[in-house]
Amino acid sequence: MQLKPISLDVFADAREEAHTVLARVMATLAPGEHVLRLGVDMDGQEHPVCATLPLSVEGDGGPEDLVGAEPKYFDNFAFLLACGLAQSLCYGVMYLRSPATGPDGSTHTVHAWHLAWGTLNECSAAEAAELVGDGVQATFLDAPGLHDEADGEAVYPPVAYTVL
């Protein structure tokens, strides 16, 4: 299967949305070492295209915390996310592994979001365990929303809300 052609304006909007999503994820991080992973796939593709973004947060858990990411990893991750948002034929999973010491002895927590039809939506803890689980020793949590809280739903892609 081949990707459908999109305009540069559509990709620019998707890139902006990808950066907004990453900013919202990074704003919620507690101090420590985190890893954000993304896999994007299409029908007919043998393997998903994957990106990993290691994140380091230094501080006391306040708004002044310093979030660090190597630019090459950030740029690759943002590009792949933008591609997934711009192409309604793509689907995938983005998940965040964070340090934690849960009561069950796990050392990590996992939040996940699923990508389908050009939209990234949060997964419940059960969905995250099903999508990412497969032997992962972690506590799965409901993912926070990454979209505008005013209307409670994704604002991207704009064509989904345009009357033709």
Which whole number is the average pLDDT over 77-98? 91
- Reported confidence tier of residue 59, pLDDT bands at 50, 70, 90: confident
Cα separation of 6 and 36, whole Å? 27
Enumerate the domain spans of the chain: 8-161
Output the pLDDT for position 106. 63
Cα separation of 164 and 158, whole Å? 12
What DSSP character marks residue 123? Answer: -
Which whole number is the average pLDDT over 138-144? 89
Q: How much of the chain, in percent, has pLDDT values that exceed 70?
A: 81
Which whole number is the average pLDDT over 60-81? 89
Among candidate residues 27, 38, 37, 35, the one with its CA nearest the CA of residue 67: 27
Q: How far is CA 30 from CA 2, 52, 71, 98, 125, in A?
A: 40, 19, 20, 8, 19
Specify the range with the lowest mean pLDDT, choosing from 22-31, 66-75, 136-145: 136-145
Q: How much of the chain, in percent, has pLDDT values that exceed 90?
A: 48
Q: Are strands 108-116 and 119-122 parallel, antiparallel or unpaired?
A: antiparallel
Output the pLDDT for position 162. 33
Supply 35's token pair: 């890893």
- Reported confidence tier of residue 155, pLDDT bands at 50, 70, 90: very low
Specify the range with the lowest mean pLDDT, choosing from 30-34, 113-117, 149-153, 155-159: 155-159
Among candidate residues 68, 133, 74, the one with its CA nearest the CA of residue 106: 133
For residues 133-150, one letter each, b for 16 or more C-beta atoms within 10 angstroms of the residue's C-beta and e for the rest, the string is: eeeeebbbbebeebbeee
* Contact criterion met (CB below 8 Å) for 59 and 31: yes
Position 15 pLDDT exceeds 90? yes
Beta partners for 139?
A: 109
